């Protein structure tokens, strides 16, 4: 596996790489990220290259968020990427990605106004800016994202559509711990007591999905089931939001229907956990 840290090296690599499938990450990798790389490897077969990036993007952190303490575990991350089938990892310094006098960024004005974006203003502008830059640098044919951050996935799909970026976007199912908790780099912030309650997020979502399968379509009724479950089983958590939305537009829905999404975010101490469930 090749480690590249500069733009000039990356461009030289790209000239002879052929077809590329790309997995962008912020590092602190876990089995969920390994699954993304493995999925990319399967898509690539023996004829295409699998590229990953490890870059903690300062533009997507707010002033009171955890940029400085976000875990950086480059050596372990590289080992995971190699074991999962990556051919190349791009791990640049911030100064390699952003010029000191940069003055241009991408603004998302619709999908980022709800869910996580409502409490994290500017976050998805930072995501769009860095992903567009990485797509320009790596020039992948296809790219793989996890469904855990469903809002991000929807925004990246809108980004490539609206800016005519020739990259096929794949959404991969969320990888979970045995007890159902979605794997996340931020799970390490949980205390033992918080970790014991965190699987309630998934259980609450499953309860609502089961009710929908049983014929409950009223959005308020489904969300009330989630609120009640969290109030009983996740007493250390503090809800940020619980919402029923359209999977593509992220617009709020009064009635659940096929291709709806129930998404939530809950604070546990220093950790802010997100999860979702598709209604198909």
In this predicted structure, what is the pLDDT of residue 207?
Answer: 98
E strand residue ranges, 30-157: 49-54, 88-90, 142-146
In this predicted structure, what is the pLDDT of residue 68?
Answer: 86
Whether residue 63 has pLDDT greater than 90 = no
Q: pTM of the entire structure?
A: 0.95
* DSSP of 4-57: E-SHHHHHHHHHTT-SEEEEEE-S---HHHHHHHHHHHHHHTTTSEEEEEE---
Whether residue 145 has pLDDT greater than 90 = yes
In this predicted structure, what is the pLDDT of residue 65?
Answer: 83
In this predicted structure, what is the pLDDT of residue 91?
Answer: 98
Fold of 2-172: Rossmann fold (3.40.50)
In this predicted structure, what is the pLDDT of residue 264?
Answer: 98
Instruction: Assess whether the region 2-172 and the region 185-279 belong to the same CATH fold.
Output: no
Whether residue 62 has pLDDT greater than 90 = no
Three-state SS across 166-228? CCEEEEECCCECCCCCECCHHHHHCCHHHHHHCCHHHHHHHHHHHHHHCCCCEHHHHHHHHHH
Catalytic one of 33, 170, 213, 229: 33
In this predicted structure, what is the pLDDT of residue 208?
Answer: 98
Average pLDDT, the chain: 97
Q: What is the mean pLDDT of residues 215-226?
A: 98
Fold of 185-279: 3.30.1300
Q: How confident is the model at residue 66 (pLDDT cuts 50, 70, 90)?
A: confident
Whether residue 96 has pLDDT greater than 90 = yes
Question: Tens digit of pLDDT for each residue in 179-216?
Answer: 999 999 899 999 999 999 999 999 999 999 999 999 99
Least Cα distance to 48 among 126, 149, 139 occurs for 139
**How many angstroms separate the CA atoms of 100 and 32, rounded?**
33
33 is catalytic: yes
**How many angstroms separate the CA atoms of 182 and 265, rounded?**
12
Whether residue 164 has pLDDT greater than 90 = yes
What residues does each domain of the chain span?
2-172, 185-279
Q: How confident is the model at residue 71 (pLDDT cuts 50, 70, 90)?
A: confident
**Contacts (Cβ under 8 Å, ≥6 apart) of 258:** 279, 280
In this predicted structure, what is the pLDDT of residue 169?
Answer: 98
> What is the token pair recorded at 151?
């809002």
Q: What is the mean pLDDT of residues 109-138?
A: 97
Residue keyed to tokens 């998805």 = 124
Instruction: Yes or no: say if 221 and 212 are a contact pair by the CB < 8 Å rule.
Output: no
């Amino acid at each position: 596996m090749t480690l590249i840290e500069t733009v000039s090296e990356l461009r030289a690599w790209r000239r002879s790489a052929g077809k590329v499938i790309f997995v962008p990450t912020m590092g602190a990798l876990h089995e969920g990220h390994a699954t993304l790389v493995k999925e990319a490897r399967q898509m690539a077969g023996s004829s295409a290259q699998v590229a990953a990036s490890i870059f903690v993007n300062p533009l997507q952190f707010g002033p009171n968020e955890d940029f400085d303490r976000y875990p950086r575990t480059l050596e372990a991350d590289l080992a995971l990427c190699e074991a999962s089938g990556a051919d190349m990892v791009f791990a640049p310094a911030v100064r390699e990605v952003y010029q000191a006098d940069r003055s241009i960024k991408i603004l998302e004005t619709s999908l980022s106004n709800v869910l996580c974006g409502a409490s994290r203003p500017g976050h998805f502008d930072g995501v769009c800016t860095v992903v567009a830059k990485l797509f320009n640098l790596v020039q992948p044919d296809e790219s793989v994202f996890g469904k855990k951050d469903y809002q991000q996935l929807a925004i990246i799909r809108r980004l490539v559509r609206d800016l005519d970026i020739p990259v096929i976007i794949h959404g991969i199912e969320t990888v979970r711990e045995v007890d159902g908790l979605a794997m996340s780099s931020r799970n390490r912030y949980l205390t033992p007591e918080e970790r014991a309650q965190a699987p309630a997020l998934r259980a609450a979502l499953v309860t609502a999905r089961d009710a929908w399968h049983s014929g409950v379509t009223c959005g308020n009724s489904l969300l009330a089931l989630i609120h009640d479950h969290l109030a009983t089983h996740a007493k250390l958590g503090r809800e940020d939001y619980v919402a029923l939305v359209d999977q593509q537009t992220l617009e709020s829905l009064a009635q659940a229907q096929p291709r709806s999404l129930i998404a939530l975010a809950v604070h546990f101490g220093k950790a802010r956990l997100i999860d979702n469930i598709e209604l198909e």
